[in-house]
Amino acid sequence: MDTNSKEFISTIELAQILGISRQAVAEKIKSGKIKAQKAGRSYVISKKDIPEILGEVLSDEKKREIEEAVHKTVEEYGEALKLLGKE
């Protein structure tokens, strides 16, 4: 396994994506909430797991906020989005 490839991110990078501390990421790894692989003394996370991680880490309130924002955007800009999709 080549953990230096672009297929993996560090715990620091994941922490930045999630907006939490590196230590919080480490705790989630240790508790099994985030899948990670050992790479030397550190852990790396597969980029393909990020959508799943985001889905689990986002609170229900944040998920609702995102859904509402998407719904509002589609309502207000639906026709423009359809036209852009045809380009």
The DSSP-derived string for 22-77 is HHHHHHHHHTTSS--EEETTEEEEEGGGHHHHHHHHS-HHHHHHHHHHHHHHHHHH
Sorted by where each starts, the structural domains of the chain and their CATH numbers stand as: 8-86 (1.10.1660)
State pLDDT tens for residues 21-78: 999 999 999 999 999 999 999 999 999 998 888 877 667 777 788 888 888 988 988 8
pLDDT of residue 10: 94
Q: Is the pTM of this model over 0.75?
A: no
